[in-house]
C-alpha cells in the first residue's frame, strides 16, 4: 500500500500586525521557509516535483502564483513548478492534502506543501473588496448578483463575524465562556514559548525569533473592557484570531523517495478529508468534518493524542468541544490563533508543524488537525507519528 510521509516541517515565527514580519515581501517569506526546509532535510531541490502553496487574498505582492514566485525567490531550479491554492483559511492544509494525494497516487514522489500570508501588507478581504470597482461589491450574500445564490440563501448576511455569533447562540456559549477560553489560549502559548516547545520548528527571520502575538499581560478585566464586535452580540476582538504574518512548509515524500534520497520520515499521513456545512454559519464545518474523519478511519476521539483546531473564534472551538468527546487538555495544548495568530494562507501548514512537534514531545501516536474555512468547509488531517 502506498504511503505519504512527512519528512520535515518548518515555520517562521508568526508576526503580529505591523510587527517584525510586516515589511517582508510574501515571496521572501515563502523563500525563507523553503530554503530552511531544504537545508533541514538535505534534499536536492532539483528533485522536488511540485510546490503546492496556500495563500488567501492573492492580490498585489501575493498575486501571480506565489507558490511559483516564492520558489524562484529562494533561488531554486526553474524547472520545478509551483501552484497556489485558495481554500480560504484551510489553504495550506489543503496544500498538504494535494501534495500527499499526488504521492499516494504515484503521480509524484517528492512534493513541498505550505503557505504564506502577509496580512499587514495585504489586509484580509482585499481580494473581495477589489471586485467593487468591477461591479461586484460582495462575493456572496446580499447584493452579490448571483441568482442561484439568492434563490438558495436569500439576503442572509454571510460573514465570519456573523457565523461566529450564530455558533455562540446555537451552542449557548457566553461571552464569559469565550473570554475564559481566550485567556487559556494566551496562558498556554506563553508557557509553550517559555518552555521552548516551538524552538525546533521555528526558522527565525528579520530578527524575529519568537511568535509575537501572545500577550503576557492579558487578564479577564482587560477582556471584559473590550467593545463588542457588533451591537447585541457576544464577541469581541479578544476572543478572535489575530491578524498576522508568516509562512510554513512541509516536505512530503513517497516510500521510494525516502529510500532514494536517504530521508527520515517524522510521520505518515493517516487520513485526509474535507466536508462542507451551512455557508451562512460558515465556521461550523469542523464538527461534521471531524465526525466524518473518525468514522472513516475507525478511530475514536480518545485515540487522538493531540488536536490542532484553528481558533478563528473561541466559539468555533468551544462548539466543537461540545460535539467531540475529547479531553480539552489535548486540544491546542500550546495555545492557538487567539494568542499565536492566524496568517490565513500559512495557518494550515503552521498548525501541522506544531502538531508534529507536540506529538514528538509527548510521545503521542495520532494527531488530528482541522479548521473552519470561508464558504462553510473544513479540512481534517490525521497523522501518525513514526
How far apart (Å, rounded) are the C-alpha atoms in residues 23 and 122? Answer: 11
How far apart (Å, rounded) are the C-alpha atoms in residues 317 and 241? Answer: 12
pLDDT above 90 as % of the chain: 93
Rounded to 5 degrees, what angle do the CA atoms 372, 102, 80 make? 105
Q: What are the pLDDT digits (tens) for 262-316?
A: 999 999 999 999 999 999 999 999 999 999 999 999 999 999 999 999 999 999 9
Question: Which one of 32, 55, 89, 186 is the catalytic residue?
Answer: 89
Is residue 144 among the annotated active site residues? Answer: no
Partners of 271 in beta bridges:
382
Contact 212, 243 (CB under 8 A): no
Question: Which one of 97, 186, 197, 342 is the catalytic residue?
Answer: 342
Contact 1, 100 (CB under 8 A): no
pLDDT above 70 as % of the chain: 100
pTM over 0.95: yes
Tell whether the model's pLDDT for residue 1 goes beyond 80. no
Strands (E), 216-309: 244-253, 267-276, 306-309
Task: Tell the burial category of 362 from Cβ atoms under 10 Å away from its Cβ (0-12, 13-18, 19+).
Answer: middle
Contacts of 176 (CB under 8 A, 6+ apart): none
What is the bridge-based pairing of β-strands 366-373 and 306-309? parallel
Q: What are the pLDDT digits (tens) for 51-98?
A: 999 999 999 999 999 999 999 999 999 999 999 999 999 999 999 999
Q: What are the pLDDT digits (tens) for 102-111?
A: 999 999 999 9
| DSSP labels, 75-97 | T--TTS--EEE-BTBTHHHHHHH
How far apart (Å, rounded) are the C-alpha atoms in residues 21 and 24? Answer: 6
pLDDT of residue 140: 79
Tell whether the model's pLDDT for residue 169 goes beyond 80. yes
How far apart (Å, rounded) are the C-alpha atoms in residues 218 and 189? Answer: 12
How far apart (Å, rounded) are the C-alpha atoms in residues 67 and 50? Answer: 9
Band (pLDDT 50/70/90 cuts) for residue 7 is very high
| DSSP labels, 37-50 | HHHHH---GGG--E
Is residue 342 among the annotated active site residues? Answer: yes
Is residue 372 among the annotated active site residues? Answer: yes
Amino acid at each position: 500500500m502506498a504511503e505519504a510521509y512527512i519528512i520535515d516541517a518548518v515555520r517562521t515565527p508568526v508576526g503580529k500586525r505591523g510587527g517584525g514580519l510586516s515589511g517582508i515581501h510574501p515571496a521572501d517569506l515563502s523563500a525563507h521557509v523553503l530554503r530552511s526546509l531544504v537545508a533541514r532535510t538535505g534534499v536536492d531541490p532539483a528533485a522536488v516535483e511540485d510546490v503546492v502553496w496556500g495563500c488567501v487574498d492573492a492580490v498585489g505582492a501575493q498575486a501571480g502564483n506565489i507558490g511559483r514566485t516564492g520558489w524562484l525567490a529562494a533561488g531554486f531550479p526553474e524547472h520545478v513548478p509551483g501552484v497556489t491554492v485558495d481554500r480560504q483559511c484551510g489553504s495550506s492544509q489543503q496544500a498538504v492534502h494535494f501534495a500527499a494525494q499526488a504521492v499516494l497516487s504515484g503521480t509524484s514522489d517528492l512534493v513541498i506543501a505550505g503557505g504564506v500570508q502577509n496580512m499587514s501588507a495585504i489586509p484580509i478581504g482585499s481580494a473581495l473588496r477589489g471586485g467593487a470597482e468591477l461591479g461586484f461589491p460582495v462575493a456572496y450574500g446580499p447584493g452579490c448578483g448571483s441568482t442561484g445564490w439568492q434563490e438558495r440563501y436569500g439576503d442572509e448576511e454571510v460573514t465570519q463575524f456573523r457565523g461566529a455569533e450564530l455558533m455562540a447562540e446555537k451552542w449557548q456559549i457566553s461571552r464569559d465562556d469565550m473570554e475564559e477560553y481566550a485567556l487559556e489560549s494566551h496562558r498556554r502559548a506563553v508557557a509553550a514559548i517559555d518552555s521552548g516547545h516551538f524552538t525546533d520548528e521555528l526558522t527565525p527571520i528579520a530578527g524575529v525569533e519568537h511568535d509575537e502575538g501572545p500577550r503576557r499581560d492579558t487578564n479577564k478585566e482587560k477582556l471584559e473592557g473590550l467593545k463588542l464586535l457588533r451591537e447585541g452580540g457576544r464577541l469581541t476582538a479578544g476572543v478572535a484570531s489575530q491578524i498576522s504574518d508568516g509562512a510554513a512548509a512541509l516536505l512530503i515524500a513517497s516510500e521510494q523517495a525516502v529510500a532514494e534520497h536517504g530521508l527520515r520520515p517524522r510521520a505518515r499521513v493517516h487520513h485526509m478529508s474535507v466536508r462542507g456545512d451551512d455557508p451562512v454559519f460558515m465556521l461550523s464545518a469542523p464538527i461534521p468534518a471531524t465526525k466524518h474523519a473518525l468514522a472513516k478511519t475507525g478511530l475514536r476521539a480518545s485515540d487522538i493524542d493531540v488536536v490542532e483546531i484553528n481558533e478563528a473564534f473561541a466559539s468555533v472551538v468551544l462548539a466543537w468541544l461540545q460535539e467531540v468527546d475529547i479531553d480539552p487538555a489535548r486540544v491546542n495544548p500550546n495555545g492557538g490563533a487567539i494568542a499565536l495568530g492566524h496568517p490565513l494562507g500559512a495557518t494550515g501548514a503552521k498548525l501541522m508543524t506544531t502538531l508534529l512537534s507536540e506529538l514528538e514531545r509527548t510521545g503521542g501516536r495520532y494527531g488530528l488537525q482541522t479548521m473552519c474555512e470561508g464558504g462553510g468547509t473544513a479540512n481534517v488531517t490525521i497523522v501518525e507519528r513514526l
